[in-house]
Every structure is written in structure tokens, then in C-alpha cells.
Amino acid sequence: MSDQARPGDWVQIHRVVLPPGERAPQVPPDTQAVPLEMRVKGFTLGAARLGETARVRTVTGRELEGRLVGIWPAPGHDFGEPVPELLTVGGEVRARLAEGKGDPGNG
């Protein structure tokens, strides 16, 4: 993949919103020591290379500017590790309903 985004490419930008020391006074000290950062995905409004400043339009129509950190970025989230106790719940609930134990009037 190229390190150059063209106008209209789906990209991710990064910007420091508040540097350390400018955070709200009620924020805990360990949080005040780090910057408040923003990462936004949108469509580029002009050409830019990774690391350069880029302007984007988000899917909601906002126009924002920041350092280009990704071109055609993949989703970076998942639902975490499976919880063993939850893997069997669906079957257990269906079995209870089939036995009539899920009916509030049936005890």
C-alpha cells in the first residue's frame, strides 16, 4: 500500500487536543500528565503522505485536520476473549424455557 493518500481515500488522522498541563483541574494527576488525543477516520479532502497534515471529512460531515496516520485503515476493535461462563448460557436458557422453568407463573 502506498504512503500517499489521494483525495477521497478513507484515512485516519491523529491530533493532540490538549497537551499535558492544559487538562481540566479535576482530572486525576496521572491523566493530567498525558495529552488528550483524537483519532478520527474520514475521507481526505486533498493529497497527503503518512505523517503529513491532512484534512478529512467524516461520515457525519465534520471537517477536521490532523497528522495522517493510516490509509484505508482496517477496523482495530474486537469483542475480546471469550468468557467461558457465557458460552453455555444460550443453550441453558433454551433448555429451561423448554422445561417451562422460564415461565414466571411456573416457579
Any idea what the CATH number is for the domain that residue 57 is in? 2.30.30.760
Confidence category of residue 106, pLDDT binned at 50, 70, 90: low
pLDDT score of 9 more than 80: yes
Whole-structure pTM value: 0.70
Q: Give the separation between CA 4 and CA 54, rounded to whole angstroms.
A: 11
Question: For residue 75, what pLDDT is reported?
Answer: 84
Where in the sequence is the domain holding 82, given as residue range(s)?
Answer: 4-106
pLDDT score of 104 more than 80: no
Q: Select the highest-mean-pLDDT range: 10-19, 78-87, 92-101.
A: 10-19
Q: What is the mean pLDDT of residues 45-64?
A: 97
The upper half-sphere exposure of residue 98, i.e. CA atoms within 13 Å in the direction of its Cβ, equals 6
pLDDT score of 60 more than 80: yes
The upper half-sphere exposure of residue 107, i.e. CA atoms within 13 Å in the direction of its Cβ, equals 1
Q: Could you give the number of structural domains in the chain?
A: 1
Q: What is the mean pLDDT of residues 73-82?
A: 85
Question: Which phi and psi angles does 30 have, rounded to 5°?
Answer: -65, -30
Cα-Cα-Cα-Cα torsion 14, 19, 20, 26, nearest 10 degrees, comes to: -100
